[in-house]
Structure 1
Amino acid sequence: MNLTQNNAPVYEALKKHMRNRVVRLDVPGHKGGRMNKELRDFLGVDCLKCDVNSMKPLDNLCHPVSVIKDAEMLAAEAFGAKHAFFIVNGTTAAVQTMIFTSCKAGDKIIMPRNVHRSAINALVVCGAIPVYVNPGTNKQLGIPLGMSVKDVEKAIKENPDAKAVLVNNPTYYGICSDIKSIVKLAHEHGMLVLADEAHGTHLYFGEGLPCSAMAAGADMAAVSIHKTGGSLTQSSLLLCADTVSEGYVRQIINLTQTTSGSYLLMVSLDLARKNLALNGKELFKKAVDYADYAREEINKIGGYYAFGRELENGDDIFAFDSTKLSVHTRAMGLAGVEVYDILRDDYDIQIEFGDIGNILAIVSAGDRELEIERFISALSEIKRLYSKDPSGMFDHEYINPIVEIPPQQAFYSEKKSVPIEESNGMICGEFVMCYPPGIPILAPGEKITSDILNYIAYCKEKGCFLTGTEDLEINNINVVVNS
């Protein structure tokens, strides 16, 4: 059978399986929902019937030989990769697989410090050593940017034994580094390029958007299809070029990925890929149009700054992802997280996140014009009701880290718990981060400074959701003994 992008092999196999009326003497124990009628009625009978176990007609995610293999082949073709792997442990698993594939204990990896926690978690597990490239910082917006090519080149020349360079493409805010130039540099020095494209699915299908990692020649890319591609939450793709071994990557995935792959997640990846391959250009044009319209209207309100491609400077803001509706709020005296809370509590509008100076709304073709208008109107009313003098507000959210010892060594060292306000000058033994976006304020092995402590206190005061510490109240922090 000749497969095309019109096919969806997992979906087609599941439909055939459902028609067979197979007697369910395997797991899952809910038996198509009959064991738990409340769950069946809530999620729908078809959903529960599709929640099945691996079997010969449906293939096996750990070692695919039929329909999953076909679906992954079609995904690779659609995304311009040599290989694609279905990931059901979230893009966290894809990011960690990239690092585990390219690095062993003691190996160096060059990366921006504003990476997602999943990347630093990978270092804790495998023992690789980070060489951080501090991102640029926009003084007006206070946000971390991309990596400058000259800073990456400096890191490569100073660490010629590094195994890989990791690139955010794009950042949470929509900022892209010059990934093509970074790929060229890294490959000239024998290093792999890994791309965290958790927020970049649309780069593969939209027109006029920044370059995707595979198009730039990267070796591996972790792509959150569920974020902007239309699949179910926790489903993702890992894309690879022919520079890495398909079999070895599969072995690495199978170290941590579940042996009970969810067919609900896999069929959503299969159908999302089909939809993107056939309709992606049109879908992402609609998303850009919505975001561009909202940017223009929000900037008419005053007080807010919905930033876009005007920021591009050919360096640490090499390109901007115009599907991202990022809005600066600090100029009207409100932290982004305060606007986030007001939107949800008073206007029933749930946006992606708010930090100390900005908010991010995720816009897709699944939105409606009325909802975009409602968001714009709510921001206008919030400005009228809540704006105040911005003096005394934090003007930046990124603080350059001081790395004293590697993350793995710090995390597994002897530690003691101390009141966080008494930890100045000590070495952190755990994570502290605001979630979302999940970029660590402190990572294991980094020196705790007064600037960082002031920032954490400010985040607490403004209502940011802080995570990562053993103490769920974030009153105490684990520090390395004898630090």
Structure 2
Amino acid sequence: MTHLLQHKAPIMEALNQYKSMRVVPFDVPGHKRGRGNPELAAFLGEQCLSMDVNSMKPLDNLCHPVSVIKEAEELAAQAFNAKHAFFMVNGTTSAVQAMIMTACKAGDKIIMPRNVHRSAINALILSGAVPIYVNPGVHSELGIPLGMAVKDVEQAILENTDAKAILINNPTYYGICSNLQALTDLAHQHDMLVLVDEAHGTHFYFGDNLPASAMSVGADMASVSMHKSGGSLTQSSFLLINNDVSEGYTRQIINLTQTTSGSYLLLSSLDISRRSLALNGKEIFQKVAEMAHYTRTEINKIGGYYAYSKELINGDTIFDFDVTKLSVDTRDIGLAGIEVYDILRDEYDIQIEFGDIGNILAYISVGDRHLDLERLVAALAEIKRRYSKNKNSVFIHDYIRPQVAFTPQEAFYAPKQKLPISESAGYISSEFVMCYPPGIPILAPGERITEEILDFIQYSKDKGCFLTGTEDSDIANINVLKELAK
């Protein structure tokens, strides 16, 4: 990689040049560099609004880049060692959906773990692709879903040799990585595309001693959430392509759903953040890994909590672990992760990334200070002292193997009826139920509702998880398929 090129930030440079020209704007947006909306300008800052501009010749066009955006994409591709990088302004959700819709048409099979983000299953609703789920299993002590075992994927491939692609999480929300190289090689031997959801793995491209990235093992496509660990603005992301994936066709797929009014705030944040990581990424993520290691060590000294790391590695379903992740099991103090999450926010003014039934995740980045880490550790110690209970009070079951009766698209659009969720066992769901974050469905369209699933949904509600997905915002009722009564 030529560092000389990586010093450039073409979109930022073009915006600065445009601003210096003092052009009179008779185009959108209507706030006219903030003058038309003084309250917004005061809140966000005049500098910010002056960069919120329309696509025009000097600034290129995201739908069909030919100049500064094209150059910025080429720099990003070079930085990530990809054939091409697309700037995505509809979040990593749109990148995941573009990957699946590029690889699969209606009726095509795609092999994927069931613990995918809702965006992947949404892509199946949009495209009509058919999921072949691989059971990721669950860690018996921690209650977290694991990676995909190579033998399980091989079995899914041999049973579905007509599948077009395989989707892999790298890493999971908790930091767990599958054997990405082995799975990629296996899929390629059977002429399947390898799509990698790297929403939580941006740093794999720039850190030392971190798990393998999608592009490094020869995967075909990857969605990279730059706004998570990469430093760009929320909702900005990269879609990387490799090998024989067509740049032109992929852009056509992206343009089916992505806005034609790409935000230059988001685009420039991707450009500037890519430059920062390309030039300083190793040092940045070395510091993040050290901060996470220090905090893990201090939390494990408290007792009752378990901040886990590479000691979990088993060579297959936990092939590697992302040491920048601060994932902590809380059940030995008798509290669900979501309860610790709520106490940290309400009592200690500490906002962590998420809590589920058994775990919390605190997102560590270069923006954190040592003082903040100490405050988190002290708060967790105090929570243990003040709130701990009998550990048997916490239910463990974060993964329930689904019974798939219909494809997500068939179920989502099928004639449906509304039932009280408590009376829905035996029916086929036509919608999602999930805790957000992390946004991994407990129930997806096309899956049979069981008493076990209903117990888990009720338990999640009781513990304070934020449930989403159903048409009924209170999650008291659920839409089920009309045809399939008990």
Q: Same fold (TM over 0.5)?
A: yes
CA contact (8 A) 2:138 2:398 kept: no
Q: 1:259 to 1:3 in 2, by over 3 A?
A: farther
SS in 1 for 2:27: coil
The two structures, once aligned, show a CA RMSD in angstroms of 0.8
Counterpart mapping for 1:4-23 below 5 A: 4-23=5-24
User: How far apart, in 2, do the equivalents of 1:37 and 1:346 lie?
Assistant: 36
User: How far apart, in 2, do the equivalents of 1:40 and 1:327 lie?
Assistant: 41
Deviations 1:157-206 (A, max 9, x none): 00000000000000000000001000000000000000000000000000
The answer for the alignment partner of 1:231 in structure 2 is 232
The answer for the alignment partner of 2:222 in structure 1 is 221
User: How far apart, in 2, do the equivalents of 1:89 and 1:329 lie?
Assistant: 34
The answer for the alignment partner of 2:58 in structure 1 is 57
User: How far apart, in 1, do the equivalents of 2:192 and 2:395 lie?
Assistant: 38
> How far apart are 1:3 and its partner, in Å?
6.9
The answer for the alignment partner of 1:478 in structure 2 is 479
Deviations 1:77-111 (A, max 9, x none): 00010000000000000000000000000000000
Deviations 1:441-464 (A, max 9, x none): 000000000110000000000000
Percent identical pairs in the alignment equals: 69
User: How far apart, in 1, do the equivalents of 2:431 and 2:7 lie?
Assistant: 47
User: How far apart, in 2, do the equivalents of 1:203 and 1:152 lie?
Assistant: 23
User: How far apart, in 2, do the equivalents of 1:121 and 1:426 lie?
Assistant: 21
The answer for the alignment partner of 1:278 in structure 2 is 279
What is the identity, as a one-letter code, of the residue corresponding to 1:287? V
The answer for the alignment partner of 2:292 in structure 1 is 291
User: How far apart, in 1, do the equivalents of 2:204 and 2:137 lie?
Assistant: 22
What is the identity, as a one-letter code, of the residue corresponding to 2:86? F
SS in 2 for 1:110: strand
SS in 2 for 1:31: coil
Scaled by the length of structure 2, what TM-score is found? 0.99
User: How far apart, in 2, do the equivalents of 1:341 and 1:251 lie?
Assistant: 43
User: How far apart, in 2, do the equivalents of 1:90 and 1:378 lie?
Assistant: 33
User: How far apart, in 1, do the equivalents of 2:106 and 2:167 lie?
Assistant: 17
CA contact (8 A) 2:176 2:320 kept: yes
* 2:338 is the alignment partner of 1:337: yes
What is the identity, as a one-letter code, of the residue corresponding to 1:406? T
User: How far apart, in 1, do the equivalents of 2:244 and 2:305 lie?
Assistant: 45
Counterpart mapping for 1:146-165 below 5 A: 146-165=147-166
User: How far apart, in 2, do the equivalents of 1:285 and 1:40 lie?
Assistant: 37
> How far apart are 1:36 and its partner, in Å?
1.0
CA contact (8 A) 2:430 2:446 kept: yes
> How far apart are 1:331 and its partner, in Å?
1.0
Counterpart mapping for 1:70-85 below 5 A: 70-85=71-86
SS in 2 for 1:264: helix
The answer for the alignment partner of 1:352 in structure 2 is 353
What is the identity, as a one-letter code, of the residue corresponding to 2:290? D
What is the identity, as a one-letter code, of the residue corresponding to 1:164? A
User: How far apart, in 2, do the equivalents of 1:186 and 1:382 lie?
Assistant: 46
Alignment gaps of 5+ in structure 1: none
CA contact (8 A) 2:137 2:145 kept: yes
Scaled by the length of structure 1, what TM-score is found? 0.99
User: How far apart, in 1, do the equivalents of 2:27 and 2:308 lie?
Assistant: 53
* 2:453 is the alignment partner of 1:449: no
User: How far apart, in 2, do the equivalents of 1:313 and 1:67 lie?
Assistant: 46
> How far apart are 1:7 and its partner, in Å?
0.2
Counterpart mapping for 1:99-248 below 5 A: 99-248=100-249
What is the identity, as a one-letter code, of the residue corresponding to 2:136? P
The answer for the alignment partner of 2:383 in structure 1 is 382
User: How far apart, in 1, do the equivalents of 2:481 and 2:4 lie?
Assistant: 55
Alignment gaps of 5+ in structure 2: none
CA contact (8 A) 2:400 2:453 kept: yes
Find runs of 4+ consecutive structure 1 residues off by over 3 angstroms. Answer: none
